Structure 1
Amino acid sequence: MRAVRVHEYEQKPVLEEVPDPVVTGPLDVLVEIDAAGVCRTDLHIVEGQWQDKSGVQLPYVIGHENAGTVREVGPAVSGTAPGDRVILHPLVTCGLCLACRSGDDVHCENSTFPGINTDGGMAELMLTNARSVVRLDEGLEPADVAALADAGLTAYHAVRKAVPLLPAGTHVVLIGAGGLGHIGLQSLLAMTPAEITVIDRSQRALDLAAELGAHHTVLADRSQVDSALDITGGRGAHVVLDFVGEGGTESEGVAMTRDAGSYFVIGYGGHVDIPTIDVISREINVIGNLVGSYTDLVELMALTAQGKVSLRTRRYSLDEALDALADLDAGRIPGGRAILVP
């Protein structure tokens, strides 16, 4: 099969022929990839940011936002069959550790993460297991939902955690209305009555946010903190969701958080540096967010089937994978996601 593999950090990935993955375990599921999302994490992988955390042996296939059609299953698989159209939870989990048994499969003690620490889905085929497979409702196409497997799932997971903090009369600031942010915005609108301010450096992304239903939009032109404070009556937001997490949004997000409020870190690459006396005297919360659970993905697919969440996408062929990565890196995909369609 053809696959996009990283051979060396700080070097472009390579599209090449590699052996097909093979079903060997009782719960294995082999999926023909119909769509693979292109994520900023893929850029971070190429840059080497995940080298120490993943421990992956190069070369390997990237791609962790995957949907497609089941081709073959192991002998113990009963919940899906060849021909099913599916979206894949990004983690392959064991189901036996305490975290899995508690429903916190994101922190499975024995998980693998295709596209991060083992071969992923920027390829024609990918091997996963039955615990990762969510069958798609009629009317949902793999290319329309693939990026929800990570970007959407991560955004939804953060919003799901924020929901109890956002009853009627509260305000939430969303930093970054791109690939994750525009999904987070739709999730907020579907699940909370909060007033929503969206901040982005791209006017096109802000126009999309307004079209989707954001109550306020603010251009990141170095006056965004003041603008957000003005909108919130000088007090800041009850919740700030930072879908960027670098380039200064870390300090800006904290500055836009009201006393006793919560700053959610979703994007990454930067550093959160807050004097401890400010954490205590302002009684603010800093909340980390990883990808969501299998249950989160099922819930997100339900919202998607109801038409409450949708992706804005730009499609590329597998042959154009390096172009897709370059376009993402250069900011040429504002307010949406790049999708590889093998």
Structure 2
Amino acid sequence: MRIYAFEEAGGAACESTVETPEPTGHEVLLRLTHSGVCHSDVHIRDGIGSGALRYPVVAGHEMAGEVVAVGPEVTGAREGDVRLVYPWLGCGACASCRAGEDDRCAEHRFLGVHRFGGYAEAVLVPHERYLLDIEGLDRGWAATLACSGLTAYSAVAKALGGHPDDSRDSDDSRDSDEEIVVIGAGGVGLMGIAVLTALGRRRITAVDVNDERLGLARGLGAARTVGSGSGGDARAALLDATGGGAAGVVDFVNSGETARLGFDVLRRDGRLIQVGLFGGELTLPTALMPSKRLTLRGSFVGSLAELGEVVALARSGRLPQTPIVTRPLTADGVNAALEGLARGTVPGRVVLTP
């Protein structure tokens, strides 16, 4: 089968051919029909944090396709099934993995990072439990749920202070009226806005340096937008837009500058959820943490159960579909998509197809 691999840190994706794996045990082989492109793949290409990586790396962790072969112990999948792949695998043996929380495992074995992923003709999934039925959903958009959707959903849950859908069972509308700020309207940030909209949140403010992306944010349900790239006072604009402060801020950029902006616009009991991997530093006035009873928390991908909830939300029709840009699943397609992400010129999410 063909793969499009990074042979070394800083290099472009190159096409090569490897033997197609034969599934054993609970393994499942999927022919990939859609592979999403994530900004973290730019970091993999560039060798950022590459100490834990072993090259060649076949990146790509947003994968959807059709089952073409199964191991002899597989009972939950058969040839022809259309499935989404949960890529955030752990060791499979620790307490976190046994509890279904592979994403918490300290021994990451992520598909598209530590194991071959979606920039290939096919992918070998270690167990059928990591496959989710997406029959009936737009397959290209569904592929993005494995990272963009899951990451956004899990971060939103933390920003809302609990399970995202808790407020839907309550007669108290105060929760849905809380101000939530989303910093960064790229592929994952737009998905965050879509998730908030699906959950009935009405007071959403989007922040970005790009007016086109802010327009997309409004189309997905953001009630207000704030441009942060024009040299104006984004802090003052956000405080004005939120009526004095936000109950929750989800920072999908997470530079030093955006993290401080998010912290500065929190109201009492506010929660800042840091998601992006841009990098930087944040210096905090420590007395404000207890006096305003603030929460500062990181969020990274999510659990298999949460991905099931995201897929269910998509099936319900409540989740707005975020913009998708389609490109060919070739070495040139991979490299062009990553360059576009690195330059910030992609409106939404790129999905590669054979």
TM-score (norm 2): 0.89
Q: Distance in 2 between matches of 1:105 and 1:157?
A: 14
Residues 1:15 and 2:23 aligned together: no
The Cα of 1:158 is off from its aligned counterpart by 1.0
Give per-residue Cα distances to partners, 1:89-143, cap 9 Å, x unaligned.
1123465532134342321355510111121111001111212100113x21322
The Cα of 1:247 is off from its aligned counterpart by 5.8
Letter matched to residue 74 of structure 2: V
What is the match of residue 149 of structure 1?
A: 146
Contact (CA 8 Å) 2:180, 2:203: kept in 1 or not? yes
Letter matched to residue 130 of structure 1: E
Give per-residue Cα distances to partners, 1:53-98, cap 9 Å, x unaligned.
xx22211211111111111111111111111000001123465532
List structure 1 runs of 4+ shifted beyond 4 angstroms. 93-96
What is the match of residue 115 of structure 2?
A: 118
What is the match of residue 252 of structure 2?
A: 243
Q: Distance in 2 between matches of 1:73 and 1:111?
A: 24
Contact (CA 8 Å) 1:91, 1:132: kept in 2 or not? no
Aligned pair in 2 of structure 1 residues 218, 28: CA closer, same or farther (>3 Å)?
same
The Cα of 1:215 is off from its aligned counterpart by 1.0
Name the SS for the 2:287 alignment partner. helix
What is the match of residue 329 of structure 2?
A: 318
Aligned pair in 2 of structure 1 residues 63, 168: CA closer, same or farther (>3 Å)?
closer
For 2:84, which of 78, 83, 87 is the aligned residue?
Answer: 87
Contact (CA 8 Å) 1:152, 1:180: kept in 2 or not? yes
Give per-residue Cα distances to partners, 1:218-256, cap 9 Å, x unaligned.
11134221111012233x101001011126211111112
What is the match of residue 344 of structure 2?
A: 331
Residues 1:75 and 2:65 aligned together: no
Aligned pair in 2 of structure 1 residues 111, 130: CA closer, same or farther (>3 Å)?
farther
Q: Distance in 1 between matches of 2:256 and 2:43?
A: 15
- Write out aligned runs for 1:183-332 (5 A): 183-220=191-228, 221-222=230-231, 223-234=233-244, 236-246=245-255, 248-270=257-279, 271-309=281-319, 310-319=321-330, 320-332=333-345
What is the match of residue 2 of structure 1?
A: 2
The Cα of 1:327 is off from its aligned counterpart by 1.2
Name the SS for the 1:188 alignment partner. helix
Contact (CA 8 Å) 2:134, 2:142: kept in 1 or not? no
Give per-residue Cα distances to partners, 1:294-329, cap 9 Å, x unaligned.
111111111112222223111110222211111111
Aligned pair in 2 of structure 1 residues 203, 31: CA closer, same or farther (>3 Å)?
same
User: What is the identity percentage for the equivalent residue pairs of Structure 1 and Structure 2?
Assistant: 36
CA RMSD of aligned residues (A): 1.9
The Cα of 1:169 is off from its aligned counterpart by 3.0
Aligned pair in 2 of structure 1 residues 193, 151: CA closer, same or farther (>3 Å)?
closer
Q: Give structure 1 stretches of 5+ with no counterpart.
A: none
More deviation, 242-251/148-157: 242-251
The Cα of 1:194 is off from its aligned counterpart by 4.8
What is the match of residue 104 of structure 1?
A: 101
What is the match of residue 135 of structure 1?
A: 133
Give per-residue Cα distances to partners, 1:140-159, cap 9 Å, x unaligned.
13222111111111001111
Q: Distance in 2 between matches of 1:311 and 1:11?
A: 30
Q: Distance in 1 between matches of 2:236 and 2:218?
A: 20
Q: Distance in 1 between matches of 2:104 and 2:180?
A: 27
Aligned pair in 2 of structure 1 residues 110, 10: CA closer, same or farther (>3 Å)?
closer
Name the SS for the 1:33 alignment partner. strand
Q: Give structure 2 stretches of 5+ with no counterpart.
A: 163-173
Contact (CA 8 Å) 2:185, 2:213: kept in 1 or not? yes
The Cα of 1:168 is off from its aligned counterpart by 3.4
Residues 1:341 and 2:350 aligned together: no
Q: Distance in 2 between matches of 1:219 and 1:60?
A: 37
Letter matched to residue 298 of structure 1: G
Letter matched to residue 322 of structure 1: N
Q: How many residues align?
A: 336
Q: Distance in 1 between matches of 2:283 and 2:65?
A: 41
The Cα of 1:3 is off from its aligned counterpart by 1.4
Residues 1:31 and 2:40 aligned together: no
Letter matched to residue 72 of structure 1: A
Q: Distance in 1 between matches of 2:44 and 2:207?
A: 26
Q: Distance in 2 between matches of 1:190 and 1:112?
A: 31
TM-score (norm 1): 0.92
